[in-house]
Amino acid sequence: MPVSPDPSRRFAIVAGLGVATALAACNGGKDKQGAEADISATEDLMREHGVLRRVLVVYRETASLLRADASKLDAGALGEAASLFRNFGEDYHERKLEEQFIFPAVQKAGGEAGGLVGTLKAQHDRGRELTAYVQSRTASGKVSAADAEPLAKALEGFTRMYEAHTAFEDTIVFQAWRKTMSKKQFEEMGDRFEEIEKAQFKGDGFDMAVDQIARIEQRLGLHDLGRYTAPSPAGAAPSTADVG
Ligand SMILES: [Fe+2]
Ligand SMILES: [Fe+2]
């Protein structure tokens, strides 16, 4: 008669399997965390700008679509882009990181970066107004003919503002912020940002945001990077690369 494993041992095996599964899951997470530990606080902020700039690309392209034929635009996808900007850009990147940590520190340090803080904050506020407007004009899933032009203008205005905003932050403000800290403090900020991101999004907010903008681009037919390659200048002599 086969001996059934004694219950405590069976429990140990099952528990062991559980532990093995948990360990495998942990390792998956750990590898990822290991890679993420290499991401500094400023790289974190700058790659967040990358996500936000992809929203700006969507905004600029949809402004043209709105002017061409507003009825053909997937307004729900545009509304989702605005929601992504609100959740990831405004409620997290701006409010939880820049306004909590970066702006107060560079303002205290003074200099060129400190002098930009007032304008940067005003642009955050204006951005929120514009985001709310885009959300309200797209909420029905359609953009009315009457809304097409004002919405296109709002999208272009937002894009123009935020391109300059992120470029100045990347090249002046974040660099100045980095200089207010020791190497150790800077590394600790990287960990701190990671914790804030996990708490805010219950996971990897950056990965989720990249997935979301990719889905929005797909819905709008804006996912192919090649569509943005500029044409050759009209009338230019063919380069040697074009010949033969
Ligand atoms: Fe900002
Ligand atoms: Fe920013």
Please tell me the distance between residue 13's alpha carbon and the centre of ligand 2 in angstroms: 50
pLDDT, position 239? 59
> If the chain, 244 residues long, is cut into consecutive pieces of 10 residues, what is the mean pLDDT of each piece?
43 41 40 61 98 98 96 96 98 98 97 97 98 97 95 98 98 98 97 96 96 98 97 76 50
CA–centroid distance for 171 within its chain: 18
pLDDT, position 191? 95
pTM: 0.82
Conformational region of residue 111, where left means phi above 0, alpha means psi within -120 to 50, and beta covers everything else: left
Please tell me the distance between residue 211's alpha carbon and the centre of ligand 1 in angstroms: 22
Residue type, 159: T
pLDDT, position 37? 56
Please tell me the distance between residue 93's alpha carbon and the centre of ligand 2 in angstroms: 6
Domains and CATH numbers, the chain: 41-222 (1.20.120.520)
- In degrees and rounded to multiples of 5, residue 145 shows phi and psi of -60, -35
Rounded CA separation 133/127 (Å): 10
Nearest to 195 by CA among 101, 81, 83, 55: 101
> Token pair for residue 9?
């041992």
pLDDT, position 242? 52
Please tell me the distance between residue 11's alpha carbon and the centre of ligand 2 in angstroms: 52
Please tell me the distance between residue 45's alpha carbon and the centre of ligand 2 in angstroms: 7
What is residue 224's DSSP assignment? -
